[in-house]
């Protein structure tokens, strides 16, 4: 089977479409996307403090702190002293935040399933195989290519 000439563009377009489907499922929430991202990051990283969050978001700590202030004001985040070092403050999503994230994940899955249901079964199966192969290829280590200087000295 011949590979489409512009496979990378087709994947990019499909990724954009997938993002639109996922965003439409999230549109009912009053929580901005950046705050949802913060909650998602924090829910999977229980030891995170403001400096670590800033690093994850690639922002300055004061910006991360302001994001946390807004989340704390809406009852979606708590700052808690680290039991091992009381000088450190952990950022902890509240039960309401975890419920919000769970509901959002469920809505997103239903939105994606609705699209999949409009595809033929064979296309769904092929897509699954392709996504698994893509995921494997994306996580494989890339062998180092020799540099020009290494080639010249050899």
Taken in order of first residue, the domains within the chain and their CATH numbers are: 31-120 (1.10.10.10)
Q: What is the pTM of this model?
A: 0.75
pLDDT averaged over every residue in the chain: 87
Rounded CA-CA distance 93/90 in Å is 10
Please, is 89 exposed, middle or buried when counting C-beta atoms within 10 Å of its C-beta (0-12, 13-18, 19+)?
A: middle
Q: What is the pLDDT of residue 25?
A: 77
- Is the pLDDT assigned to residue 4 strictly greater than 60? no
Number of neighbours of residue 64 by Cβ within 10 angstroms: 23
Rounded CA-CA distance 136/14 in Å is 19
């Amino acid at each position: 089977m011949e590979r489409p000439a512009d496979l990378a563009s087709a994947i990019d377009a499909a990724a954009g479409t997938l993002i639109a489907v996922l965003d439409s499922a999230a549109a009912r929430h009053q929580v901005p996307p950046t705050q949802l991202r913060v909650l998602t990051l924090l829910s999977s990283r229980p030891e995170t403090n403001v400096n670590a969050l800033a690093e994850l978001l690639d922002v300055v700590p004061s910006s991360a702190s302001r994001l946390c202030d807004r989340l704390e004001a809406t009852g979606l985040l708590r700052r808690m002293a680290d039991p091992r070092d009381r000088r450190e403050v952990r950022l902890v999503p509240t039960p309401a935040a975890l419920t919000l994230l769970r509901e959002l994940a469920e809505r997103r899955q239903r939105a994606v399933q609705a699209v999949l249901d409009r595809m033929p079964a064979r296309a769904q199966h092929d897509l699954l195989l392709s996504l698994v192969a893509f995921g494997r290829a994306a996580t494989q280590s890339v062998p180092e290519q020799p540099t020009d200087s290494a080639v010249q000295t050899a």
